[in-house]
Structure 1
Amino acid sequence: MGDTSKKMAKSLERPGSAYNGYVMLAALVAVLALGILLPLSGALQDMRPGLGIPVLIILAAAFLLIAVGFLMIQPNQAVVITLFGEYRGTVRKDGLHWIWPWMGKQKISVRAHNIHSEKVKINDLRGNPIEIACNVVWRVADTAQAVFDVDDYKEFVNIQIEAGLRTVGARHPYDDMSDEDETTLRGSADVVNRELIEELNDRLKVAGILVDEAGLTHLAYAPEIAGAMLRRQQADAVIAARKKVVIGAVSMVEDALTKLSRDGIIDLDNERKAAMVSNLMVVLCGDREAHPVVNTGTLYT
Structure 2
Amino acid sequence: MERRAFRLNGFAVLLGLVVLAAVAAAAAFAGPAGAVAAIVLAVVVVLLATGFTVINPNEAKVVQFFGRYVGSVADAGFQWVLPLTTKRRVTLRVRNFETSKLKVNDAAGNPVEIAAVVVYKVVDSGKATFAVDDYEEYVAIQSEAAVRHLATTHPYDSDQTQGTSLRDGTEVAAELTAELRDRTDLAGVEVIEARITHLAYAPEIAQAMLVRQQAAQVVAARTMIVEGAVGMVGLALDRLREQGVVELDEERKANMVSNLLVVLCGDKATQPVVNAGSLYS
Which residue matches 2:145? Answer: 163
* Aligned AA (1:89): G
Cross-structure match for 1:16: 5
Spell out, residue by residue over 1:259-301, the C-alpha distance to the aligned partner (whole angstroms, 9 max, x if none): 1121111111111111111111111110101111222222222
Structure 1 residues 91 and 44: alpha-carbon distance in aligned structure 2, compared to 1, 3 A threshold = closer
What is residue 107 of structure 2 aligned with on the other side?
A: 125
Letter in 2 for 1:185: L
For residues 100 and 91 of structure 1, what CA distance do their matches in structure 2 show? 11
Task: Tell me whether 1:200 sits opposite 2:180 in the alignment.
Answer: yes
User: Hey, what does 1:8 align to over in structure 2?
Assistant: none
Deviation of the 1:66 alpha carbon: 4.6
1:6 is aligned to none
TM score, norm. by length of structure 2: 0.91
Aligned partner of 1:92 in structure 2 is 74
Partner of 2:58: 76
Rounded to whole Å, the distance in 1 between the matches of 2:15 and 2:199 is 59
Once residues 281 and 184 of structure 1 are traced to their aligned partners in structure 2, the CA distance between those partners, rounded to angstroms, is: 36
RMSD of aligned residue pairs (Cα, Å): 2.3
Deviation at 1:120, TM superposition (A): 1.0
Q: Deviations over 1:228-260 (max 9, x none)?
A: 111111111111111111111111111111111
Secondary structure, in 3 states, of the residue corresponding to 2:268? coil
1:184 corresponds to 2:184:
no
CA deviations over 1:184-213 (Å, ceiling 9, x no partner): 1113x3332222122212221221222121
Distance in 2 separating the partners of 1:185 and 1:159: 21
Letter in 2 for 1:138: Y
Residue matched to 1:243: 223
1:126-153 CA distance string (max 9 Å, x none): 1110111111111212221111121111
User: Is the partner of 1:22 in helix, strand or coil?
Assistant: helix
* Rounded Cα–Cα distance in structure 1 between residues aligned with 2:54 and 2:6: 14
Q: Distance in 2 between matches of 1:100 and 1:259?
A: 94
2:240 maps to amino acid: L
Secondary structure in 1 matching 2:166:
coil
**How far apart are 1:60 and its partner, in Å?**
5.4
Q: Please tell me the residue identity of whatever aligns with 1:272.
A: R
Quick one: which of 16, 19, 32 aligns to 1:30?
19
- Structure 1 Cα separation of the partners of residues 139 and 28 of structure 2: 60
Say if 2:177 and 2:191, in contact at 8 Å, map to a contact too. yes
Which consecutive residues of structure 2, in runs of 5 or more, have no partner in the other structure? none
CA distance in 2 between counterparts of 1:32 and 1:83 reads: 25
Match of 1:292 in 2: 272
Secondary structure (helix, strand or coil) at the match of 1:111 reads coil
Distance 1:284 1:28 in 2: 95
2:112, 2:201 within 8 Å by CA — same for their partners in 1?
yes
Partner of 2:208: 228
Of the three residues 283, 290, 296, the one matched with 2:263 is 283
For residues 33 and 93 of structure 1, the distance between their equivalents in structure 2, rounded to whole angstroms, comes to 30
The one-letter amino acid paired with 1:94 is A
Output the amino acid matched with 1:186.
R
Q: How many residues align?
A: 281
C-alpha separation in 1, matches of 2:175 and 2:166: 11
CA contact (8 A) 2:61 2:87 kept: yes
Following the alignment from structure 2 to structure 1, what is the Cα–Cα distance between the partners of residues 163 and 82? 61
Change (3 A) 1:84 1:68: closer
- The alpha-carbon deviation at position 68 of structure 1 amounts to 3.9
- 1:170 counterpart SS class: helix
Whole-Å separation in 1 of the counterparts to 2:256 and 2:148: 58
Picking from 129, 143, 148, the partner of 2:125 is 143
Cα distance 1:300–1:182, how it changes in 2: closer, same or farther (>3 A)? same
For normalisation by structure 1, the TM-score amounts to: 0.85
Percent identical residues: 48
